[in-house]
Amino acid sequence: MIAKPMLKVAASWLAIAAFTACANTATMDGGASAQGATTPEAAQAYVEAAEAELAERSQYEARIAWVYNTYINFDTEWLLQRSDAEATEARVRLASGAGRFANTELPADIRRKIDLLRLSLVLPAPQTEGAAAQLSEITTRLASRYSTGRIDYQGRQVALDELETLMGTERNAARLEEIWTEWHQVAAPMRDDYTRMVEIANQGARDLGFDNVGQMWLSNYDMPAADMEREVERLWGQLQPFYEQLHCHVRTRLSATYGEAIQPRDGPIRADLLGNMWAQDWSTLMPIMRPRGARATYDTTSLLTRANYDAVRMTRTAEGFYTSLGLAPLPETFWERSMLTRPRDRDVVCHASAWDLDSREDLRVKQCIQINAEHFQTIHHELGHNYYQRAYMDQPYLYQNGAHDGFHEAIGDFIALNITPEYLVEIGLLRRGQIPPASADTSLLMEQALNKIAFLPFALTMDQWRWQVFDGRITPDRYNAAWWELRERYQGITPPNTRTEEHFDPGAKYHIANNVPYLRYFLSYVLQFQFYEAACQQAGWEGPLHRCTVYGNREVGERFNQMMEMGASRPWPDALEAFTGTRQMDGGAMARYFQPLMAYLEEQNEGQDCGWD
């Protein structure tokens, strides 16, 4: 996850995103607003003044957010609320001022910057006195409730990062239900705050000329909101058959493991049995999903443990992938200032994120790294954000961002796809004689599918729910019911026990509690396979796509960096074309990657009643 000033479109959450305090309006308008001028010259002056203000203030706001994230207490919450309120007021002012030029014919560069200013807010506040402060107070309270959440489990207080590990290793259904239920109870008190937040932010969106916040979010992809929503459904249509076959096979194995009384052989899957608190990543089920008769390949977690990896070594290894492509090492300040493990003496936000605090070289990662395969992939992913941030740092301030927010997430995931057996040999974690034979490819693909394919409908559900909350199709009296209706429709899962409107299960997920738009992750899962396939073609890879690694290929690295250097200066199809040669997001690369597994799943599911209606 990226953490950036809010004006930059890939910003991850409201508190981190705060970036500027109120400034003198006459100065901000470059002298133009007093006359109400809407000429191209006035627009250019407005943009120049906006960029100067934002560049000057962003570092201050980012450092407050960093201190809060790494040291949560009453005082840091107070600081964050204040900076958040100032930031929101300033951003609403900037966006409203940019709206004056919505119908002015402008040069392409100025038009793009004006539109970025208009569309950059995550949660806008109305321009009424006190609205920004109230919104900031609510969003900070939601974020803190999530990040400081603990549950009582087996006689001790347990935090979420440990609970996530337990969900992946525990196989007792009763204990899984207990962990799942207790964590979701942490979110129940969020409902009233969330309801009020929606009211305030929707009014702010209307003041800026949008119907609601959801429409604002969807308008941020160089196309009309309705077209983007259709584009998402098109991409899901390409990949839905893969998910349905995976769901069918996983359900069969879970039923065999737990018995039909706990998991029937038809219908939805019980959410807490899938090895992840939110049923978004099923890869911890690999021990029961390994194809029958297939020998075990290797366990990356065991390899890391036996090699005595710690958090710093995992991070150094991930950095080594990027430098092998010809990119520069991270600055020494990265190692001095990053938070790579959970401190023992205070509450922090453990959710992994990458930071650029000064739009230059103050790059950092905040992650409570555990020595396992998932976190090994995660740190490769997070450094992708940092290298992207560094690549576009010479762009004008408003262009210091990803081509769209999905690009920022896809960069690191593309690199993580290269964590293949060949890469593990290159870095000394695996001996060449331990590389699994071709007969083990189904196992390798199964593990990837339990992560990548399983995630897609979850990602859709997250923002489908919020789009419908923001536009009024889902009302507060149906928040929880609608959440589970959508999760059953897209994911085919069901909760382990009865859920009512006394619960607020959406808030048990970080990105809901912290107001991070989630469509970026769905798009990133499509894009990362496009990047990966294109890179492997550039490298001249001739074997199965899923075994490719471009580790050490500087030609790929040069072209990769050229795309990253563009930042948000061009519409995203231009950036996509620069690296892949195509201008359309396409699930075809992901489908080709998993095609050998699809044939296996269809064979295994023959005669099964797949689906869950």
Distances (CA, A) of 388 to 127, 163, 238, 549: 34, 31, 28, 20
The verdict on whether 351 is a catalytic residue reads no
State residue 539's pLDDT score: 96
The answer on pLDDT for 10 being more than 60 is no
- C-beta separation of 109 from 47 below 8 A: no
- The backbone torsions φ and ψ at residue 449, rounded to the nearest 5 degrees and listed phi first, read -65, -35
Most confident of 126-140, 148-162, 227-241: 227-241
How would residue 296 be classed by pLDDT, with cut points 50, 70 and 90?
low
CB atoms < 10 A from the CB of 296, how many? Answer: 11
Spot the catalytic one: 184, 247, 511, 546.
511
pLDDT at 33 over 50: no
**Structural tokens at position 119:** 């569309």
**How many C-beta neighbours within 10 Å does residue 293 have?**
6
Per the CB < 8 A criterion, the answer to whether 312 and 340 are in contact is yes
Quick: pLDDT tens for 57-105.
888 999 999 999 999 999 999 999 899 888 878 878 898 899 889 889 9
Single out the residue of 288, 292, 314, 289 nearest to residue 301, CA to CA.
314
Q: Summarize pLDDT for 485-500 with one digit per residue, the tens.
A: 999 999 999 999 999 9
Nearest by Cα to 214 from 517, 538, 583, 554: 517
User: Which has the closest alpha carbon to 283: 173, 372, 385?
Assistant: 372
pLDDT at 458 over 70: yes
Q: What is the DSSP string of 318-335?
A: HHHHHHHTTPPPPPHHHH
Asked whether the predicted pLDDT for residue 273 surpasses 80, the reply is yes
Between residues 8 and 312, the one the model is more confident about:
312
Q: Point out the least confidently predicted range of 231-235, 295-299, 395-399, 436-440.
A: 295-299
Q: Which of 382, 426, 488, 533 is catalytic?
A: 382
pLDDT > 80? residue 372: yes
pLDDT at 106 over 50: yes
The pLDDT of residue 516 is above 60: yes
Nearest to 73 by CA among 147, 163, 151: 147
Reported as a single tens digit per residue, the pLDDT across 570-591 is 999 999 999 999 999 999 999 9
Q: Is the confidence at residue 555, as pLDDT, over 60?
A: yes
Q: What pLDDT digit, counting tens, does each position of 317-361 carry? A: 999 999 999 999 999 999 999 999 999 989 998 989 999 999 889
Q: Regarding predicted confidence, which is higher, 613 or 532?
A: 532
Answer yes or no: is pLDDT of 137 > 60: yes
**Over 81-125, what HEC string results?**
HHHHHHHHHHHHHHHHHHHCCCCCCCCHHHHHHHHHHHHCCCCCC
Query: Which H or E run contains 493?
Result: strand 493-494
Question: pLDDT-derived band of residue 36, with 50, 70 and 90 as boundaries?
Answer: low
382 counts as catalytic: yes
For 414-433, the pLDDT digits (tens) are 999 999 999 999 999 999 98
Residue among 15, 23, 28, 22 nearest 86 (CA) = 22
pLDDT at 17: 33
pLDDT at 295: 65
Read off the pLDDT band of 3 (50, 70, 90). Answer: low
Average pLDDT, the chain: 90
Q: What is the mean pLDDT of residues 446-450?
A: 94
pLDDT in tens, 392-401: 999 999 999 9
How many whole angstroms separate alpha carbon 19 and alpha carbon 9?
Answer: 12
Higher pLDDT, 17 or 214: 214
Residue 571 carries which DSSP code? Answer: -
Place of tokens 């440990």: 162
Residues 468 and 202: their CA atoms lie apart, in Å, by 12
Q: What is the pLDDT of residue 185?
A: 94
Mutual orientation of helices 405-417 and 373-391 as an angle, nearest 10°? 130
Which of these ranges, 50-59, 142-151, 286-295, 468-477, has the smallest mean pLDDT?
A: 286-295
